């Protein structure tokens, strides 16, 4: 008589899972758009549709809008920039450090047809909004999107 097979239950990883956080931190160093290996962080991002646009909303408080770059290449929208921390010479000791500083980069692959030529972007209350006009079919070209300041 064979024993009952063991049932193994798995749960999806979530952000609170310590192992998941450690692995994300370990693999966070990668080749950035600028061609250098460095620690890169990814800001939280929402992507949703309105009647006329695809909206990408990125949470990046404390970032100078002049240090944000938005580029569209085919289906891939890349948002990158830098959030500067306090002057290292002025900090005597950290007691807690949770806010990521330095270079960030977020790539969003959009499988929804849009017209990059009509793209708009604005930075408001710590959020970057990129609005891409929906289109009947994809328009493939490379564009840099300037922030409306």
What is the SS3 assignment for 93? Answer: coil
* Distance (Å) of CA 78 to CA 45, 75, 116: 12, 10, 12
Distance CA 77, CA 90 (A): 36
Residue 63 CB coordination number (10 Å): 20
* Domains annotated on the chain, with CATH: 39-87+100-145 (2.60.40.790)
Beta bridge partner(s), residue 38 = 30
> Rounded to the nearest 10 degrees, how much is the dihedral formed by the CA atoms of 105, 68, 130, 36?
-30
Q: What is the pLDDT of residues 53-100, one digit of tens each?
A: 999 999 999 999 999 999 988 889 999 999 998 888 888 888 888 899
What does the pLDDT look like over 1-55, one tens digit per residue?
Answer: 555 554 444 445 455 555 555 555 555 544 444 455 457 999 999 999 999 999 9
């Amino acid at each position: 008589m064979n024993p009952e097979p063991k049932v193994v239950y798995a749960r999806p990883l979530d952000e609170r899972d310590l192992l998941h956080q450690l692995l994300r931190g370990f693999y966070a160093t990668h080749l950035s758009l600028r061609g250098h290996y460095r620690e890169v962080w990814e800001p939280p991002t929402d992507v949703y549709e309105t009647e006329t646009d695809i909206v990408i909303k990125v949470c990046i408080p404390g970032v100078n809008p002049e240090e944000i770059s938005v580029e569209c290449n085919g289906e891939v929208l890349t948002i990158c920039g830098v959030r500067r921390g306090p002057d290292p010479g002025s900090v005597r000791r950290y007691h807690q450090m949770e806010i990521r500083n330095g270079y960030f980069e977020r790539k969003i692959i959009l499988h929804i047809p849009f017209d990059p030529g009509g793209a708009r972007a604005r930075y408001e209350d710590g959020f970057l909004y990129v609005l891409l006009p929906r289109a009947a079919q994809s328009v493939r070209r490379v564009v840099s999107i300037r922030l409306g300041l």
